[in-house]
């Protein structure tokens, strides 16, 4: 990636596809797979042909909050420690949006995930404007409301008043054991999944994004206006449960669904049982259940890709694509029954932490390249800042500019994915991923089936260390080892009894010891970068305060 001067700084469009597995985008399929399967992502496939595609991009964590915190700070979860819903990112870590803002970028977010857009966790720091499409009272640009302007202003003032009341309640549902347990009741699930916009509104957010891009194109083409670049963050979560893809996409990927009552009944029940979205499977899914989840997931992926096509078209017809760096990534994937897990709460298998990563920047990033080296998506922080011209010598003189150590400034240049594109990967294909089990989820589950949680080691922190095609998974004190080149689905643990009985047992033992020592060194390095102060826990309001706020909102008498 060529460095740019201050007058050539690119616009940056960061699109996070929440809960998107890499292997379910057709641009990640082999030629043999393409010949047999219906493409799920023709628009992203087209973008991939104009981009560099990273075949083995690894998320730093298996769920939303820690993974976004890593992409926004460039740090692993063991460093930033924002690994629970009640922890706020330390001000010691300047975020990507903060650094770009103080480097002269305008910063805006279009977010569908309430865990990023509503929770008080520091992930919105640095955004001048941030639109939430999830939650009880979504926010949208005035242009996205079809009512006349005077009514828009009145409605905006009214919803802002109620939003101040509702946000603490919505925060509490993600942090209070009692309220979280209440939210899992099947009778209440339709309320918060549909009426409270759990998945946001993908179509509305993309429509608003297109209008924003058109406005920016007009502004940047006007010689009378300051040519200020923009950083635009977008979070889309269409492939997240519950599943409601439009009928044409269901028909395309699950043609049996309309006529198969058992398939429809299973999905209808599954959609209102969020406990089943997250808990380990007590027994494997039936063939029909596995097929329904897999096919309907693909239908959601295809619907989201269909909507994304308009964004890429907007970039083309406005001319923005010439000077816009587009990064498409996922925060994590999704388990669909593999390894007897569903959802994305506990494990570090490929279906959860191997994610798509595409980088497109004409004239600066090669088109059509595919990079096989494992890379961490935390390095987007360094990559985007370097592309924006943020260098060790850059001086931030604004009064409220975040403090940026010389070490971080140097790391921006060293850890940019530009080094990997040049064949000089600074981490030599060694990547870490960490799964800290969400505490509030564990507490909700242990009352139902603590024995199953114990059997599946759900209380343990899991970590994965990649070294080329070798992958070590450390679950508490228990290791497992996989060769992803010969076993991409991680079905054969090389440390199983059968593997140890082979002639390679001695070398395998040495191999394991070296990887475990490497993991300890990575963790020691990550922990050494922590700030001196402990991570800040967000206070949950008292039950009396919550009852009062819920009464004000009309939820309680």
> Which range marks the domain in which residue 378 is found?
22-552
Q: Give the domain CATH number at 197.
A: 3.40.720.10
Looking at the domain assignment, is residue 521 inside a domain? yes
| Total domains in the fold of the chain | 1
Question: For the residues of 175-230, what is the DSSP string, one character each?
Answer: H-HHHHHHHTSTTTHHIIIIIT-TT--HHHHHHHHHHHHHHHHHHHH-TTS----E
Q: How confident is the model at residue 356 (pLDDT cuts 50, 70, 90)?
A: very high
* Range 363-392 average pLDDT: 93
pLDDT at 184 over 80: no
Other C-beta atoms closer than 10 Å to the C-beta of 49 total 12
Buried b (16+ CB within 10 A) or exposed e, 28-44: bbeeeeeeeeebbbebb
Higher pLDDT, 501 or 221: 221
pLDDT on residue 5: 40
Rounded to the nearest integer, the mean pLDDT of the chain is 86
Of 151-160, 232-241, 445-454, 537-546, the poorest mean pLDDT is in 151-160
Residues near 266 by Cβ (< 8 Å), separated by ≥ 6?
A: 288, 289, 292
* Residue 26 reports pLDDT greater than 60: yes
Does the pLDDT of residue 150 top 90, yes or no? no
Q: What is the mean pLDDT of residues 17-28?
A: 98
Give the per-residue pLDDT at 388. 95
CB 59 within 8 A of CB 38: no
Q: What average pLDDT score do residues 431-441 get?
A: 93
Predicted confidence at residue 440, as pLDDT, reads: 81
Q: Where residue 507 falls among pLDDT bands split at 50, 70, 90? A: confident
pTM of the predicted model as reported, rounded to 2 decimal places: 0.89
Owner of token pair 């599954």: 270
Q: Please tell me whether the peptide bond between 160 and the residue prior to it is cis, using omega within 30 degrees of 0.
A: no
259, 265 contact by CB (below 8 A): no
Residue 525 pLDDT: 95
Q: Is residue 10 part of a domain?
A: no
CB atoms under 10 Å from CB of 454, counted, come to: 12
**Residue 354: closest CA among 328, 334, 378:** 334
The verdict on residue 156 lying in a domain is yes
Percent of all residues in the chain with a pLDDT value above 90, rounded to a whole number:
68
C-alpha angle 333-362-416 in degrees, rounded to nearest 5: 55
Question: What is the per-residue pLDDT for 185?
Answer: 55
Whether the predicted pLDDT of 249 surpasses 80: yes
Mean pLDDT of 267-279: 90
Give the pLDDT confidence score for residue 192 in this predicted structure.
53
pLDDT value of residue 174: 54
Q: Mind listing the pLDDT tens digit for each residue in 477-492?
A: 999 999 999 999 999 9
Over residues 10-37, mean pLDDT: 96
pLDDT (0 to 100) of residue 542: 46
Q: Which of the listed ranges 64-73, 137-146, 277-286, 545-554 does the model predict with the highest average pLDDT?
A: 64-73
pLDDT, mean of residues 128-133 = 95
**Among 367, 519, 312, 373, CA closest to 57:** 373
Report, as an integer, the average pLDDT of 392-400: 51
Q: Is the pLDDT of residue 504 over 90?
A: no
Rounded to the nearest 10°, the torsion over CA 42, 45, 50, 53 is 160
Least confidently predicted of 37-51, 114-128, 149-163, 475-489: 149-163
Burial of residue 399 (CB within 10 Å: 0-12, 13-18, 19+) is exposed
State yes or no: pLDDT of 205 exceeds 70. Answer: yes
Q: What count of other Cβ atoms lies within 10 Å of the Cβ of residue 275?
A: 16
Tell me, yes or no, whether 446 lies in a domain: yes
C-beta neighbour count of 103 within 10 angstroms: 19
Q: Decide: residue 180, CB within 10 A, 0-12 exposed, 13-18 middle, 19+ buried.
A: middle
pLDDT at 408: 79
Strands 129-132 and 106-111: parallel
551 pLDDT more than 50:
no
DSSP string, 15-30: EEETT--GGGSGGGS-
Which of 114-128, 374-388, 543-557 has maximum average pLDDT?
374-388
pLDDT exceeds 80 at position 161: no
Strands 375-376 and 57-58: parallel
Would you state the pLDDT for residue 499?
60
Both structure tokens of 511:
């191999």
Ramachandran region, residue 491 (left: φ > 0; alpha: ψ -120 to 50; beta: rest): alpha
Give me the phi and psi of 36, to 5 degrees please.
Answer: -105, -20
The helix or strand, by DSSP H or E, that contains position 467, with its residue range, turns out to be strand 462-467
Here the tokens at position 157 are: 């003032």
Can you give the pLDDT at residue 446?
82
Tens-digit pLDDT profile for residues 300-346:
999 999 999 999 999 999 999 999 999 999 999 999 999 999 999 99
Q: Which residue, among 239, 252, 145, 255, has the nearest Cα to 199 in the 3D structure?
A: 239
Q: List, in sequence order, every residue forming a beta bridge with 472; answer none if it has no partner.
A: 465, 481
Q: Tokens 């309001």 — which residue?
A: 541
Q: Write the pLDDT tens digit of every residue in 76-107.
A: 999 999 999 889 999 999 999 999 998 899 99
> Using CA atoms, how far apart are residues 285 and 174, in angstroms rounded to an integer?
28
Average the pLDDT over 35-48 and give the result: 97
Average confidence (pLDDT) over 414-426: 95
Radius of gyration of the chain (CA): 23
Closest C-alpha to 365, from 415, 335, 305, 323: 323
Residue in 195, 374, 390, 198 with CA at minimum distance from that of residue 277: 198
pLDDT band at 3 (very low <50, low <70, confident <90, very high): very low
Residue 522 has pLDDT above 70, yes or no: yes
Which residues neighbour 554 within 8 Å (Cβ) at sequence distance 6 or greater? none
Q: Is there a domain that residue 350 lies in?
A: yes
**Residue 41 is assigned to a structural domain of this protein:** yes
**Residue, of 178 and 42, whose pLDDT is higher:** 42
The verdict on residue 86 lying in a domain is yes
Q: Residue 400 pLDDT > 80, yes or no?
A: no
* 540: in domain: yes
Pairing state of beta strands 11-17 and 430-435?
Answer: unpaired
Residue 396's closest CA among 125, 1, 98, 37? 98
């Amino acid at each position: 990636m060529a460095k740019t001067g201050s007058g050539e700084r690119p616009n940056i469009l960061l699109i996070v596809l929440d809960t998107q597995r890499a292997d379910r985008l057709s641009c990640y399929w082999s030629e043999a797979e393409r010949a047999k399967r219906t493409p799920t992502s023709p628009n992203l496939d087209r973008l991939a042909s104009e981009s560099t595609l990273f075949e083995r991009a690894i998320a730093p964590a298996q769920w939303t909050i820690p993974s976004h915190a890593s992409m926004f700070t460039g740090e692993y979860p063991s460093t930033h420690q924002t690994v629970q819903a009640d922890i706020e990112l330390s001000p010691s870590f300047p975020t990507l949006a903060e650094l770009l803002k103080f480097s002269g970028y305008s910063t805006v977010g279009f977010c569908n995930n309430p865990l990023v857009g509503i929770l008080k966790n520091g992930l919105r720091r640095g955004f001048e404007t941030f639109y939430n499409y999830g939650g009880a009272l979504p926010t949208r640009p005035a242009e996205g409301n079809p009512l006349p302007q005077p009514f828009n202003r009145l409605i905006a003032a009214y919803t802002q008043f109620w939003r101040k009341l509702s946000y603490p309640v919505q925060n509490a549902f993600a942090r209070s054991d009692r309220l979280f347990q209440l939210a899992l009741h099947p009778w209440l699930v339709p309320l918060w999944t549909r009426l409270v916009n759990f998945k946001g509104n993908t179509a509305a957010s993309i429509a608003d994004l297109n209008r924003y891009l058109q406005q920016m194109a007009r502004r940047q083409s006007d010689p009378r206006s300051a040519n200020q670049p923009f950083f635009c963050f977008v979070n889309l979560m269409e492939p997240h449960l519950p599943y409601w893809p439009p009928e044409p996409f269901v028909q395309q990927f699950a043609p049996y669904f309309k006529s198969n009552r058992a398939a429809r009944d299973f999905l209808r029940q599954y959609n209102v049982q969020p406990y089943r979205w997250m808990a380990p499977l007590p027994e494997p899914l039936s063939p029909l259940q596995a097929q329904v989840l897999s096919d309907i997931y693909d239908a959601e992926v295809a619907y989201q890709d269909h909507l994304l096509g308009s964004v890429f078209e907007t970039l083309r017809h406005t001319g923005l694509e010439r000077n816009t760096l587009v990064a498409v990534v996922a925060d994590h994937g999704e388990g669909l029954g593999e390894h007897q897990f569903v959802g994305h709460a506990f494990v570090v298998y490929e279906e959860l932490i191997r994610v798509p990563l595409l980088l497109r920047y004409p004239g600066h990033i090669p088109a059509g390249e595919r990079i096989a080296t494992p890379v961490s998506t935390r390095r987007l922080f360094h990559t985007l800042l370097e592309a924006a011209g943020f260098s060790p010598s850059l001086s931030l003189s604004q009064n409220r500019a975040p403090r940026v150590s010389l070490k971080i400034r140097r790391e921006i240049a060293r850890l940019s994915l530009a080094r990997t594109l040049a064949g000089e990967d600074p981490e030599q294909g060694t990547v870490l991923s960490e799964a800290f089990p969400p505490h509030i989820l564990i507490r909700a589950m242990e009352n139902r089936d603590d024995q199953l949680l114990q059997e599946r080691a759900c209380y343990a922190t899991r970590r994965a260390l990649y070294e080329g095609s070798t992958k070590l998974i450390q679950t508490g004190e228990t290791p497992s080892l996989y060769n992803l080149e010969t076993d991409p689905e991680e079905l054969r643990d090389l440390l199983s009894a059968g593997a140890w009985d082979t002639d390679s047992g001695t070398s395998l033992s040495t191999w394991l010891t070296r990887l475990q020592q490497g993991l300890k060194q990575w963790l020691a390095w990550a922990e050494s970068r922590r700030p001196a102060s402990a991570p800040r826990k967000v206070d949950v309001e008292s039950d009396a305060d919550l009852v009062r706020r819920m009464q004000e909102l009309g939820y309680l008498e």
